[in-house]
Amino acid sequence: MSQAPAQFTPLDGPVRTTCPYCAVQCNFDLHVSGDRVVKVAPTKACPVAKGTVCKKGLAAAADLTQPERLTSPLLRHGGELVPVSWAEAMAYVRDALTPLLAERPSAVGVFGSGSLTNEKAYLLGKFARVALQTPHIDYNGRYCMSSAAAALGRTVGLDRGLGFPLSDIGLSDLILLVGANIAETLPPIMQYLSAAKHRGGIVYAIDPRATTTARVAGHHLAPRPGTDGILALGLLHLMKNMGRILPTAPAHGMVEVLAQADLYPPQRVAHECGIKETELLLLAKRYAEATKPLILTGRGAEQHAHGTDTVQAWLNLSFLSGHFGKAGGGYGTLTGQGNGQGGREHGQKNDQLPGGRSLRDSKHRAEMATFWGVTPESLPQPGHSAQNLLRACGSELEALIVVGSNPVVSAAGAGQITDHLKALKHLIVVDFLPSETARLATLVLPGAMWCEEEGTTTNLEGRVQRRRQALNPPGEAKADWQIICELAWAIGRPHGFTYAHFRDLQEEFFRATKGGKADYSGLSADRLDRASAQWPIKSASAPDTPYAYAPTYPTTDGLATLHLPHFTAPPPSRQLLLTTGRLGNQYQSGTQTRRNAALRAENTVQIHPETAREYGLKEGEIVTIRTSHGETQLPTQFSPNIRPDTLFLPFHWPETANLLTNPELIDPHSHMPSFKATPVELLRLPAESAAEHRGKRADFPFFAVVPLEK
């Protein structure tokens, strides 16, 4: 059974929608003529960006007409991916999955995404639990802000990235950006930093590189990668010495956390972080004097094998100095993906049910089972988290369905992960472009791009907004929600996956969250047309919740619990550490942005000129970077702005950053891989192999596409 794509009649006049890319979720007006977007116009009415957007947002409309757009299903046949009808594609799904599910549902896994709208994320979780009945669903948000989510969850029982409106940033008198390069990654937020500076506030960027953000901030501290938690313990030690401990509220664990801080005097902290003691003392003095200090962590602090404890250490500092949860001050994490926040609330996580409910909680299981009309016993228990799920492919898992992620580029140890994906019997990928993961698939299903379907997203401050449809998807492409329903029909489980209209799914989703921590049940498309709203929104007549972290907290006794963070000393200073991250002009695994002519960028390894001299390297020379997990060759880019003991690689290109990262090392609490600190070897490449490398092109044998631009 297969359905025609839902036809949508384009509206007269501009369509206000949200950007497909990052978690700011800027609004802009799309001017449509025929089947094309002819203009993208930022709007001052945008509650977040106030009329600003970044280059990626402005360029996004060009992706809609990309010559490589997937416009029909592709099935692997004789080694090649060839176009087939939806009926043939669904017959493959039936034949592939039905026998596996009959024997062992846990042989089938699902990998979702923080790029999916709330409705799709909800439906994908429901599909895994109710239709497939597999425990194994997780998503790329695990690679994103999961360490901050884990720390917030275990401390105050709630995970909303920013518990306050973004504009509060402008009220702070000391802002610490810990591992966040927002000038390149969340540019419209720079206006709030400027507002704070305008009022006399001080802004610090804490980053092993003096980034564009650091230059605008005006104050920079460059600790060795992976030592941010130790820095926070050093600050707590000094706050205690200065008599600045004034907890936000009573909490468990305070005595132990304060006792631990005694072990981190300035001398030790400066040594382990690789900074000057005077720099630490000055920062501590400023923190002590500030009335509204705000700590914001980004991926630089969080994407470590001890990321949860790192965030915990900063959260403890904020809480014990009395700022957590207060307007203009406190702690927040800067969520990354377009729906990174909503995507982590409604059931794509391995242990989660909609509305931020837990699959481990019998009450929550019973609530959702009743809602879905199934028995609580039929709902699986939590399965593997993202990295382990991918590592189980080809052994425990025989089939995987990927919706909105490109783990061949973005997973840690991508070389090993690629081998696991190749060992699957069935790899079904839903994407709108031939990503590197789609190219390995046995079946590719063509999805709709952002403004080709309806939905809602939740931005980094928990603000829910409508993403409106402006166009029909091209060719045979369909909205992801329709595709997920068709997968359920194909395996003979249509019950609960048949919606006459998108609105029926959306209303079901809002209702499903009722009573959960992330309660959206007061929302409707009409209410969102009047104004965006920050969750929880508990009924149609209830107001929204700009401030999420006021005591008492949603924990068993209403109190916070400060956990003791644990850190080991960093590796010796002569060990080169690779850190990875983003460039302003590229997005994530690059599927969209590498193809976009307006968004050129260089794939190089950033190295300090002193280090380059030590290794006898010239600028632009191709070097080998090697770890025990893989190696890559890239040209050098000299940068006096990076620590001499650190190398930086963007992860937007295949066969680079993640060939080097460790596929096995994950944070014990959040299961975040160690993306930001990998010990590496740096080698000069012999001249003849460097010449050969220059001539090499990406080689993807499966179907003919225009070669990727590098």
Ligand X SMILES: Nc1nc2c(c(=O)[nH]1)N[C@H]1C(S)=C(S)[C@@H](COP(=O)(O)OP(=O)(O)OC[C@H]3O[C@@H](n4cnc5c(=O)[nH]c(N)nc54)[C@H](O)[C@@H]3O)O[C@H]1N2
Q: Is 228 in the site for ligand X (CB under 6 A)?
A: yes
Closest residue to ligand SF4, Cβ-based? 57
**Range 103-122, binding ligand X (CB under 6 A):** 113-116
> From the CB of 460, what's the least distance to ligand SF4, in Å?
10
Contact between 657 and ligand X (CB under 6 A)? yes
What is the rounded CA–CA span in Å between residue 152 and residue 560?
A: 10
> What is the SS3 assignment for 276?
coil
Indicate the SS3 state at residue 342.
Answer: helix
Instruction: CB nearer to ligand X: give 66 or 248.
Output: 66
Among 146, 405, 632, 641, interactor with ligand X by CB under 6 A: 405
* CB-CB contact of 465 with 457 (8 Å): yes
List, in order, residues 6 or more apart from 23 with CB less than 8 Å away. Answer: 161, 186, 334, 335, 336, 337, 338, 339, 340, 341, 459, 460
Q: Is 336 in the site for Mo ion (CB under 5 A)?
A: yes
- Considering only 312, 410, 456, 465, the residue that binds ligand X (CB under 6 A) is 410
Regarding 591 and contact with ligand X (CB under 6 A), the answer is yes
Strand duo 202-206 + 218-221: pairing: parallel
Residue in this structure with the two tokens 């000057």, named with its chain if needed: 276
Quote the DSSP letter at residue 322: T
Nearest distance, CB of residue 259 and ligand X, angstroms: 26
Tell me the backbone φ, ψ of residue 608, rounded to 5 degrees.
Answer: -70, 140
Give min distance, CB of 63 to ligand SF4, in A. 12
- Residue closer to ligand X by CB (options 322, 570) is 570
CB burial readout 19-33, b (16+ within 10 A) else e: bbbbbbbbbbbbbbe
Per-residue contact flags (x/-) with Mo ion for residues 339 to 378, judged by CB under 5 A: ----------------------------------------
First to last CA, the chain: 41
Residue 334 is a binding residue for Mo ion (CB under 5 A):
no
Residue 116 binds what, of Mo ion, ligand X, ligand SF4, none (CB under 5 to 8 Å, by partner type)?
Answer: ligand X
Nearer residue to ligand X within complex by CB, 364 or 463: 463
Contacts of ligand X in 310-349 (CB under 6 A): 336-337
Place of tokens 């991508």: 414
Contacts of 45 (CB under 8 A, 6+ apart): 16, 27, 51
CB burial of residue 385 (10 Å; 0-12, 13-18, 19+): buried
Among 179, 355, 356, 462, binds ligand X (CB under 6 A): 179
Restricted to residues 118-177, the positions that interact with Mo ion (CB under 5 A) are: 144
Q: Is 299 in the site for ligand X (CB under 6 A)?
A: yes
Q: Which amino acid is at 92?
A: Y
HEC-encoded secondary structure of 549-595: CCCCCCCCCCCEECCCCCCCCCCCCCCCEEEEECCCCCCCCCCCHHH
- Across the beta sheet with 218-221, the strand order is 218-221, 202-206, 174-178, 293-297, 330-333
Binding partner selected for residue 57 from ligand X, ligand SF4, Mo ion, none, CB under the kind-specific 5 to 8 Å limit: ligand SF4
Among 18, 106, 388, 589, binds ligand X (CB under 6 A): 589
Least distance (Å) between residue 23 CB and ligand X: 6
Q: Residue 88 Cβ, how far from ligand X at the closest point, in Å?
A: 20
Does residue 325 belong to the site contacting Mo ion (CB under 5 A)?
no
**24 sits near Mo ion (criterion: CB under 5 A):** no
CA–CA dist 325, 335 (Å, integer): 17
Report the residue number, 304 or 365, with the smaller CB distance to ligand X.
304
CB of 387 to ligand SF4, least distance (A): 26
User: In sequence order, what are the beta bridge partners of 108?
Assistant: 399
Total residues contacting ligand X (rule CB under 6 A)? 64
Q: Is 315 in contact with 253 (CB distance < 8 Å)?
A: no
Binding status of residue 404 toward ligand X by CB under 6 A: yes
Rg of the chain over Cα atoms, rounded to whole angstroms, equals: 24
Q: Which of 113, 70, 73, 19 is nearest to 404 (CA)?
A: 113
Give the binding site for ligand SF4 (CB under 6 A): 19, 21-22, 24-26, 49, 53-54, 56-57, 186-188
Q: State CA 505 to chain mean position distance.
A: 24
**Identified binder of ligand X from the candidate list 86, 92, 122, 143, rule CB under 6 A:** 143
Residue ranges binding ligand X (CB under 6 A): 22, 113-116, 140, 143-144, 178-182, 184-186, 206-209, 211, 225-226, 228, 298-301, 303, 336-337, 403-407, 409-410, 430-433, 435, 447, 480, 579-582, 584, 586-589, 591-592, 648, 651, 657-658, 661, 675-677
Residue ranges binding Mo ion (CB under 5 A): 144, 336
